[in-house]
Amino acid sequence: MKMTSLGRKAFLWICMVFLMGRISHSDADSIDDQCRHADSCERCLSTHLECAWCTDKEYQVGYRCLSRRQLLIYNCSDPDIYENQPVLDVLQDRPLKDYETRDQAVQVTPQRAYLKLVKGNTQRIKLSYRTARNNPLDLYVLMDLTWTMRDDKETLEELGAQLSQTLKNLTGNYRLGFGSFADKPTVPMILPQHRENPCAAERAKCEPTYGYRHQLSLTDDIPAFTSAVANSKITGNLDNLEGGLDALMQVIVCTTEIGWKEQARKVVILVTDGFMHLAGDGLLAGIIQRNDKQCHLNTAGEYTGSLDYDYPSLEEIYRELLRRKINVIFAVTKEVVSSYRELSALMKEISYVDILSADSSNILELIKKSYESLITRTQFADNSPDFIDMAYYTDCGGQFPSLQKRNYCYNVSLGKQIDFFVDVTLKKYPDNQDYSHKIRVEETSLSEYMDLDVELQRPCPCQETPDPTNEEGRFLCDYKGFLYCGMCKCDEGWTGTYCTCPTDATNVTSNEALLQKCRQPITDKSTSELVCSNHGDCDCGTCLCDPGYKGPFCECRECLDCDEKLADCFCGQCVCKYGWSGTKCNCDGDTDACVGPTGEICSERGTCECEECHCEEPYLGKFCETDPEKDNKLCLFYEPCVTCLIEQKQGMGACENLTDICSSLDRQETYPYNFVHELDPEQDQCLVIDHSNFLTIQAVDCEPVDYVAIVGYISAFTLLAGLLIIFLVLWCIRAKDAREYAKFEEDQKNSVRQENPLYRDPVGRYEVPKALSVKYDENPFAS
């Protein structure tokens, strides 16, 4: 028997009452409860990830937006259910690896993924980064070669071989390039009478001023680098402002001429002792054309656009450095370092500043220090459109106890894997109805990235042929409209979810305008997207709230656990009366337990609730005293006391005010302390909280210094060393004398005597004849 219209309405009403009766008040936060108030397919799918919309014309339950499971229970046909279908699929996931001769390093994984986004839903993808060992390094030295930098050039030339060894210690795969700069060769940057010899004022000869000169493309030939530096010529200009930004822009954009390698870590070290001209200074020379960020090097490496284009701005330099993945190191003298540090702060993720000695003798140490600083930090950025939100979370490889919302990490150990968790959320649909996008998440200083192929789920995928004459469809829309994709399309003069509101009575001409009256205003110009805060139904511009909710927009929950003696209920929140605090207003408001030794409540880094500190990010500790990246307030507070105790322990004299220094601020309690042989690495490095909840200062135990013994040891050592030195000196003297005498004797033996022919020997010699001598012997007494 055919059911009459009145019977059908009665049946529908009974079904709705039965359904309402089965919904428990305690289950108000269930998924179905969140879904059921959505009155359109688009709003339904945007309410919750598990909300689904039924377009079945035979569906007789009042709420078309429920979970898929519930819709099937209420006999909605499966093909007529439209639901959210988020997808995350990793398409390319090469493992992290260090640089090898044949294969490139992999420092970011995964490399590509597919995402299907649902409005309001967040999808999380894990991104891992690890600094590769032996990764290629392209280092371009850009040097100021004006007159005051002449000794720095000579130093760099002398340090060529040592520079090679320094780079080998950093990475076995490096290349060097060289270029020099001065300033625009025109008035007022130079004097017209000194155009050919800008160093005339110094009574010296140098070559004419030039803007920028590319001397050597990137190469692994170190002798060629040393030769390029040696062959470069000193020039000069009039003021202490140089054209460094002009030169830096050319180094950045002349990719082929410089020889930048795509996969290498690209670094420019800019060496100067002066300030730099900025955008607009070209007007002083009549140069008004804006820097075009194009390469203008001729075959000789000369910058030909120096007199045609203005200096680039810092913003233009920054954007090009980011786009081309080039890091810059400013090696400057102490007189100008403060200005360059301010400049570097504007692009801190890709720049570094350090002080250069007067003659650049510390440039090797500076290169090593700056390179290590660059490779120990990482930062990621993306090109997502404004309707897609990208949020990054990481603990920086264990540097933080929990995930922090940040896209960067410092002090990253070489070889340490850092995991970033990227939350991708579709905030709204694009106005141009383009539902396919490509997003690149890339490391800011390397050519390492992850590509995301993003597809947006359409607002409502229903594709149905409208049928204004369908009896079932018109019945569900109170015969004042027809059903299309589960939603009522109202006849002229009617509006509302079920076409029950006359437009002349509501002064609105569309259902959307009627629903706008049921949305809570957020500001003077914007309202919430939720109809009746998703806790009620909009009946011709008025919210009919669910049980447990109240307010003109059903925005307030009824207070269930507020003690009327301790708090007042205000829009679902317990507003504590004077002297009480806590989420349930059951804390008496006493903050004494949150006051640390410094006298501050939670070290002014958190709030005290129920006599316990709740720290703000990223602070830690009982009193929120620890900043993982900076300092520890309690350590700083106890430092004078610990210093005094150690001095007293070592016999360096007793502190006159030890009691005052090692006492609480009110001088009523003296801090207990104990000496240990070494600090427990698991504990705070300056104090320990024992089981009785008292603060105990803990210092490393050092034996008192015996100064008499030290003086004796030093004196004895000095005496022995002196005697040893004297002995060695005497031995050396005797050995030398012996060698000299032996040499003298040898010379005497080998020498041939030369007689002077005019020389007469003063000694006369006479000989007695032998015969006479014998005769006298035979007769000695003969007469």
> Is a pLDDT exceeding 90 seen at residue 256?
yes
Q: What is the mean pLDDT of residues 332-343?
A: 91
Query: For 190-196, which contacts have Cβ atoms below 8 Å and span 24 or more sequence positions?
Result: 190/236, 190/237, 190/238, 191/238, 194/236
Binning pLDDT at 50, 70 and 90, where does residue 28 land? very low
Is the pLDDT confidence value at 422 over 80? yes
Could you tell me whether strands 695-700 and 673-676 are parallel, antiparallel, or unpaired per DSSP bridges?
Answer: parallel
Find out whether 574 and 562 touch, Cβ atoms under 8 Å. Answer: yes
Q: What is the pLDDT of residue 763?
A: 75
Q: Which of 159-163, 195-199, 680-684 has the lowest mean pLDDT?
A: 680-684
What integer is the mean pLDDT of 380-400?
Answer: 94
Query: Does residue 509 have a pLDDT over 70?
Result: no
**Per-range mean pLDDT, top range of 30-39, 46-55, 209-218, 462-471:** 209-218
Judge whether residue 466 has pLDDT over 80. Answer: no
Average pLDDT of the residues of the chain: 82
Determine what percent of the chain is predicted with pLDDT higher than 90: 30
This prediction has a pTM of 0.59
For the beta sheet containing 687-689, the strands, ordered from the edge strand earlier in sequence to the opposite edge, are 673-676, 695-700, 687-689
> What was the pLDDT predicted at 249?
96
Distance CA 658, CA 258 (A): 65
Distance CA 600, CA 603 (A): 5
Q: Judge residue 429's burial from the number of C-beta atoms within 10 Å of its C-beta, 0-12 exposed, 13-18 middle, 19 or more buried.
A: middle
pLDDT band at 278 (very low <50, low <70, confident <90, very high): very high
Question: pLDDT class for 698, splitting at 50, 70, 90?
Answer: low
pLDDT exceeds cutoff 70 at 679: no
- Decide if pLDDT at 754 tops 60: no
pLDDT given at position 764: 72
- CB neighbour list of residue 632: distance below 8 Å, 6 or more residues apart: 621, 625, 626, 684, 685, 686
pLDDT tens column, 619-657: 888 889 888 877 788 888 888 887 787 777 766 666 667
| Terminal Cα-to-Cα distance of the chain (whole angstroms) | 206
- Whether residue 693 is predicted with pLDDT greater than 90 in this model: the reply is no
Amino acid at 407: N
Tokens of 439: 């997003």
Beta-strand pair 673-676/212-219: unpaired
Would you give the distance in Å from CA 404 to the centre of its chain? 12
The predicted structure's pLDDT at residue 367: 87
Cα 341 to Cα 40: distance, rounded to the nearest angstrom: 56
Mean pLDDT check: name the lowest of 175-179, 709-713, 769-773: 769-773
Go through the chain and tell me how many residues it has. 783
Instruction: At 366, list the tokens.
Output: 């500076």
Question: Is the per-residue pLDDT at 330 higher than 60?
Answer: yes
pLDDT value for 672: 73
The top-scoring range by mean pLDDT among 8-12, 20-24, 733-737 is 733-737
Instruction: Give me the pLDDT at residue 192, please.
Output: 80
Rounded distance, CA 685 to CA 346, Å?
Answer: 35
Return the H-helix or E-strand segment holding 700.
strand 695-700
- Residue 653 CA to residue 701 CA, distance in Å, equals 17
Q: Is the pLDDT of residue 463 over 90?
A: no
| Residue 670 burial (CB count, 10 A) | 13
> What's the farthest any 2 CA atoms get from each other in the chain?
206
Report the pLDDT value the prediction gives residue 388, as an integer from 0 to 100.
95
Closest Cα partner for 487 from 34, 39, 13?
39
pLDDT (0 to 100) of residue 17:
37
Q: Please write the tens of the pLDDT for every residue from 576-604.
A: 887 777 777 778 777 888 888 888 889 88
User: Which of residues 570 and 341 earns the better pLDDT score?
Assistant: 341
* 557 pLDDT tier (thresholds 50, 70, 90): confident
Mean pLDDT of 715-721: 91
The region, left, alpha or beta by phi > 0 then psi within -120 to 50, assigned to residue 696 is beta
- pLDDT tens for each residue of 106-153: 999 999 999 999 988 899 999 999 998 888 899 999 999 988 888 888
Please tell me the predicted confidence (pLDDT) of residue 172: 80
Are 268 and 176 spatial neighbours (Cβ–Cβ below 8 Å)?
no
Q: What is the DSSP letter of 95?
A: P
Check pLDDT > 60 for residue 682. no
Domains of the chain and CATH, by start: 30-85 (3.30.1680.10), 87-132+379-456 (2.60.40.1510), 137-376 (3.40.50.410), 471-544 (2.10.25.10), 639-694 (no CATH)
